[in-house]
Amino acid sequence: MPGKPDCRGDRHAMRTATRLAIASALVGVGLMAAEQDAASQESAVLSVSAGHAAGVDELRQWDASIDGMARTGELVVMSHLSDASLEGRTHEYLAQYHAGIPVFGGGVSRQLDPAGVTVSLFGTLHQGIDVNFAPALSGAEVAARLEEMHGGEVVGGGQPALGILPLPDGSFALAYAVAMSDGYFYFADAGDGSLLHRLNAVKNQQAAVGAGTGSQGNQRKLSTTEEDGRFQAHDRMRPAEIVTLDVRFNFLRANRLMTDHLIEGLPPGEAVWTADDYAIDADNEWDDPTVVEAHAYTGWFYDYFSARHGWEGVDGANGRTISLVNLGFANAFFASPPFGPEGNGAFGYGRRIDETNEEPYTLFDVVGHELMHGVTHFSVSNRTGSPLGLFNVRPLGARLGPRSFTDRFGQTHTCDTARFPGLVETPEGLDDGLVPALCHDGRFVLAHSGDGAIHEGYSDIFGESLGFYYEDEGVSADYLVGGDFKEGAIRSMIDPKSLRDGFYPDAYADRYDFALTLRDGRFWNFSGHIFVRGEYFGTLRNDDFGYGGDHWNSLILSHAFYLAIEGGTHRTSGMTVEGAGDANRGEIERIFFRAMRDLMPAMATLPITAALIRQSAADLAPGSDAQRAIDEALRAVGLGPGVL
């Protein structure tokens, strides 16, 4: 492979440019590269954010470097797509490679004008890669080791993907990515098979026309299919078929539908479900509210995205959407490919259960929330070529915490000696144990799940947007996630701090971070210890770990969306936003969606997402009330230009 071009001088100039937002994270810590020595700079992670706010010369410098990396094979074009909103604009995604091997999560999204001139660049690039490119173990050997250690099965016919995995200490490992039957993607070292990281693939919510009553007492029409004298919840009227399967609270049935396709190594689209799995009704007057709502609202979701955004189906290509209902737990989820009854992902809806009531998790905004997880996944995965979609394979946007802290139980933890609950490997397999904290210069390294917060924020935004689009159909339009549950809303986009005694953050500076753990110097995870502004805040119950605050921090982004439309004074910052108003609601929805559909890279943070949204506003509605309101709203929640 040709050598890497010597453009260190250009890179230094770009790093120190005042208007080009290039955030460097060293050792997983959000420090500017200019503050590090030369040796550290070579192992920097560069978060590229260059768009309308950058100077022309600075953008061209970056563009020249990207072109140089493309010529040497360090960046490979994975997609080249026309902009669905702006005629003549195109978007390409360039995935990062090193010595012909893909770098997990590395890549850049580039927007081009009709003349082929670059308009914007967003993404994450990894530098200083130094690994042994010859795997000591084959993919089959690693798969066998994982099955022995895990107790589960490798899915997809046991075909692990080889790539370079960035590690939180700034180093890299040649690794295999493997999907397992427990719903996780595992990364295992290609040299010795040891576990390096894992990511959860599950995000936790002849034609006939029938009718039924939902959980709120509303009548809903259902597009169904009559077969053998009974009606099946199978919508064949829309270009994208919608199938609703009823697992009838049978765990084994649900597990079979979610994993058998993968375990058997079937090609995508080949079904493991049968006619016996359908939600069915004898007379097409449906009386199960879970089936009624899940099936009807999935159709409404399709119609909204087709009409408002030109996005056809959950996958953007009119692929079949499959939902599982009457699951025996109180939640809803989206499981990404390769899971699901056809290997193309699936949605699941259980019941909300407490001492006084039992409600299906199929309110309109809840169904829309889960379906939007699918749209987010496919919009990023289809364009970037990443099977993981939007996933940060290493912590981004981290900060340094204290050298020690005392938790709520009175126990003092010093970073160099701290041991927290985490995942360990034992002779019997994977188990919970104690693992070291990740430290930098004796201080705890703190981070959150930025990709998860983006996922959840976008799902709340478009789950609630559906309510306003269909307000005349008698559904709630209130910016309250799950607002129609008898026990009240789950989250408020209007005023995040109004619920749970002010627990939810409404500003980026007040986000929840977690002390990181690092087992064997390579396997990182979120501990259960929570920090705000670098100071200890609390600890998760029951020694929980692995949660990065996805849902909590998501309100920073969704609250900005609310302010951009409705306006108001931000509770924490005191900044006043002049909302663009209901007349501009559709424009703001289109701006936010285009940022995800066309610009989002495979790895991102909330600040990068804010830059994408600003870029989308500048492209679609320059000088408009919508652009002004979006900028004011993002500033109000602490996501102003230049925030890292």
Q: What is the DSSP string of 299-341?
A: HHHHHHHHHHH---STTSS---EEEEES-SSS-EEEE-TT-ST
**Within 13 Å and on the Cβ side, how many CA atoms surround 268?**
9
Residue 298: per-residue pLDDT: 97
| pTM (two decimals) | 0.90
Identify the weakest region by mean pLDDT among 53-57, 366-370, 545-549: 53-57
Task: Residue 528: name the closest of 517, 543, 510 by CA.
Answer: 543
In the numeric block, the tokens 């390769």 are attached to 338
Q: What are the tens digits of pLDDT across the range 324-358? A: 999 988 899 999 999 999 999 999 999 866 555 57
Mean pLDDT of the chain: 88
Residue 358: per-residue pLDDT: 77
Q: What mean pLDDT is predicted for residues 601-622? A: 97
With cut-offs at 50, 70 and 90, classify the pLDDT of residue 569: very high
Beta strands in 214-320 (DSSP E): 219-227, 230-232, 234-235, 242-246, 280-281, 285-286
Q: Which residues pair with 202 in a beta bridge?
A: 335
Q: What mean pLDDT is predicted for residues 489-504? A: 95
Residue 352: per-residue pLDDT: 67
With cut-offs at 50, 70 and 90, classify the pLDDT of residue 156: low
Q: What percent of the chain is predicted at pLDDT more than 90?
A: 70
Q: What are the tens digits of pLDDT across the range 62-111? A: 999 999 999 999 999 999 999 999 999 999 999 999 999 999 999 999 99
DSSP class of 509: G
pLDDT value at 635 more than 70: yes
Cβ neighbours of residue 421 closer than 8 Å, sequence gap 6 or more: 432, 433, 434, 435, 527, 528, 543, 544, 545
Q: What are the tens digits of pLDDT across the range 424-448? A: 988 877 889 999 999 999 999 999 9
Q: Give the residue extent of every domain in the chain.
A: 8-122, 139-200, 203-307+317-364, 399-636
pLDDT value at 554 more than 50: yes
Q: Which residues pair with 82 in a beta bridge?
A: 90
Residue 28: per-residue pLDDT: 25
Burial 150-163 (b: 16+ CB within 10 A, else e): bebbbbbebebbbb
pLDDT value at 559 more than 60: yes
Residue 353: per-residue pLDDT: 65
- Of the ranges 24-33, 156-165, 368-377, the best mean pLDDT one: 368-377
Determine the topology of domain 139-200 in CATH.
Answer: Nuclear Transport Factor 2; Chain: A, (3.10.450)
Give the Cα separation of 459 and 561 in Å (integer).
Answer: 12
Query: One-letter amino acid identity for 123?
Result: G
pLDDT value at 282 more than 60: yes
Q: What mean pLDDT is predicted for residues 274-295? A: 93
β-pairing, 242-246 vs 118-126, is unpaired
- CATH among 1.10.390.10, 3.30.750.80, 3.40.50.1820, 3.40.50.300 for 399-636: 1.10.390.10
pLDDT value at 377 more than 60: yes
Q: What are the tens digits of pLDDT across the range 243-267? A: 999 999 999 999 999 988 888 888 8
With cut-offs at 50, 70 and 90, classify the pLDDT of residue 117: very high
Residue 263: per-residue pLDDT: 81
Give the Cα separation of 330 and 542 in Å (integer).
Answer: 19
- Take residue 535 and report the two structure tokens written for it: 């100071």
Tabulate helix, strand, coil % of the chain (nearest 5): 30, 30, 40
- Considering the domain 203-307+317-364, what is its CATH architecture? Roll (3.10)
pLDDT value at 310 more than 80: yes
